[in-house]
Amino acid sequence: DIQMTQSPSSLSASVGDRVTITCRASQSINNFLNWYRKKPGKAPELLIYSTSTLQSGVPPRFSGSGSGTDFTLTISSLQPEDFATYFCQQTFSSPLFTFGPGTKVDIK
């Protein structure tokens, strides 16, 4: 099974900060990596798919990069609605999928 890790597990930041979250796979997953934002009491929202493709309607302050085993989600200027938990997801083993453990972004 492909295992996913994320770092950090949590971080504190201020509005306007640049935030970077890392996701690592236990084996190469090419570029089959997605990112979701999850707010309490709400359904997850797709932000980025296939490592770097921005989902329609998602602000351009979100960007993704990486390949193989190491991937990054960057928020260029953190906004109040971005205080949430972020999850990566690998689809290399489709139709079996795995999420990372999440990175919680809270207010400094």
For 39, 91, 103, the CA distances from 86, given in Å and listed in that order, are: 9, 17, 5
Between residues 78 and 87, which has the closer beta carbon with respect to other proteins? 87
Whether residue 74 contacts residue 19, with contact meaning beta carbons closer than 8 Å, is answered with: yes
CB of 67 to other proteins, least distance (A): 14
Element (H, E) at 100: none
Total site size for other proteins, rule CB under 8 A: 28
50 lies in the site for other proteins, by CB under 8 A: yes
Q: Which of 12, 77, 96, 108 binds other proteins (CB under 8 A)?
A: 96
